[in-house]
Amino acid sequence: SLPERSRFNRICNNAFCFLQWIRIGILKQHSNNPKYTIIDSLPLPLCQPIRNKRCKVLTDYADIGYNATKKQYYYGLKGSFEVGSDGHIWAYTLSKASKHDIKMVEDLLRQYRCQYILADQGYLSNELKKKLEKEGIWFWTPSRKNMKEKKQENSKFLKKKRKYIETVFSKLVNLFDIERIRVQSILGFRLRLEQCLLVYTIKNELAQ
């Protein structure tokens, strides 16, 4: 018989690290290193947009940021993910919604380093690209239209591959409603997210 909801939540709170270790263990033991990884961020709102300025949930960790996809501001967190060419999520980190995507790259690479990384224009930075190049990492982002830069022959192919992470985000939203996590503590949020990622990892591993 299953424990009651409150007891189940306490058990899960204490098991957060173990859930994370299980997920990472599955990746290391049953998955090959991906040929390349894709980095992108996903808005994680904590309330409806109309309550952005009134919401007081996780005020030490969340703030107001802009969702470029939906073209609206939201109050909440931002999840930055590193997805492999195999579809697995190899690294992720949480930050305030207003924090720039570029600042989260090093946090992701501390969890998992891949020699080839794809990203979108939000990660466009010559300084970051040169720094990673010195570390033996090839970091690719598409150029802006107003930039005078030699076009790469495989730029269309890379853009197509980069969009694969959007498919992964869509699965997380459709399967786990990851954009509607409503909790009262950052530990509860991380726990709920880790539960979703563990189930997704197992599901993806079985599919392969």
> Across the 208 residues of the chain, what is the mean pLDDT of every consecutive 10-residue run?
78 83 91 92 94 93 93 95 94 95 94 94 90 94 66 71 91 93 89 93 86
E runs forming strands in 23-109? 37-45, 63-67, 72-84, 89-96
Nearest to 88 by CA among 36, 137, 44: 36
User: What burial class does residue 164 get, using C-beta atoms within 10 Å of its C-beta: 0-12 exposed, 13-18 middle, 19+ buried?
Assistant: middle
pTM of full prediction above 0.95? no
Q: How many domains does the chain have?
A: 1
Structural domain including 140 reads 5-207
